[in-house]
Amino acid sequence: MKYELKGGVFPVVVCYLEDGEQMITERGSMVWMSPNMEMETRGGGLGKMFSRAFSGDSMFQNIYTAHGRGMIAFGSSFPGKIIPLAIEPGREMILQKNSFLAAELGVELSIHFNKKLGAGFFGGEGFIMQRLSGCGMAFAEIDGELVEYELAAGQSIVVDTGNVAGFEAGVSIDIQSVKGMKNKFLGGEGFFNTVLTGPGKVWLQTMPISGVAMAIRPFIPTGNG
């Protein structure tokens, strides 16, 4: 499979497939394709279906197969970037569940639960994430601009949860409470932050859609006149 990235603030990734090659996506991110691409919707077994439903993802996956040489494009749903990720054994990636766009069929998608109890109860978006393993190319959607950090072993960075786009599997994640009651209730930054600790790369996004929704909420009419 070959690919190219096109577009500006609303990018697409155009994938060129050989006969029999397949792509997978979990949401309606296909924007155009050649007529010889065949789509099949699969559930992936009851266990995987229920785990995806629990995480808030779709219970089904769309598989696109090329009959002859084919072309298919997947588009972003929000202004930002699309980044390619080469997944292979020993190089697994953890993504926010809304960041995954599409991948070759050799990439295995599974739910990644935070093992720490505090993160489980209070982590919000950061609690249930998506693990990419196996072998193949995957594509992630970044809201706004991408900022990348390489954390050394034991080095940490504190991030607002919505700004975490993904990280390498060697990075650990925990939740840290904002200190001080005044800071919690008057600071406008919420009650909790996400703490990422190396070793490994982390990907941060500058304009998460959740932050945009919070910013425009006061300007949306309530319908009460």
Per-residue pLDDT in tens (0 to 9) along the chain, 225 residues: 999 999 888 999 999 999 999 999 987 789 999 999 999 998 654 344 444 444 444 567 899 999 999 999 999 988 999 999 999 999 999 998 788 999 999 999 888 766 554 444 444 444 578 899 999 999 999 999 999 999 999 999 999 888 999 999 999 988 877 665 544 444 445 567 889 999 999 999 998 877 777 777 778 877 654
Global pTM value: 0.80
| Listed residue (114, 76, 107) closest to 205, CA to CA | 76
What integer pLDDT is reported at residue 125 of this predicted model? 45
What integer pLDDT is reported at residue 74 of this predicted model? 97
What integer pLDDT is reported at residue 55 of this predicted model? 45
What integer pLDDT is reported at residue 223 of this predicted model? 60
| Listed residue (146, 202, 145) closest to 172, CA to CA | 202
Q: Please report the DSSP string for 51-100 in residue order.
A: HHHHHTS-S-EEEEEESSSEEEEEE-SSSEEEEEEEEBTTB-EEEETTTE
Enumerate helices (H) and strands (E) in the chain, giving the number of each: 4, 19
| Listed residue (96, 110, 84, 103) closest to 165, CA to CA | 96
| All structural domains of the chain | 2-218 (3.60.160.10)
Hunting for tokens 């029999």 — which residue is that?
A: 20
For residue 192, what are its two tokens? 């909790």
For residue 139, what are its two tokens? 């594509």
Query: What residues are paired with 63 via a beta bridge?
Result: 24, 40
Quick one: CA torsion of 48, 53, 55, 56, rounded to 10 degrees?
140
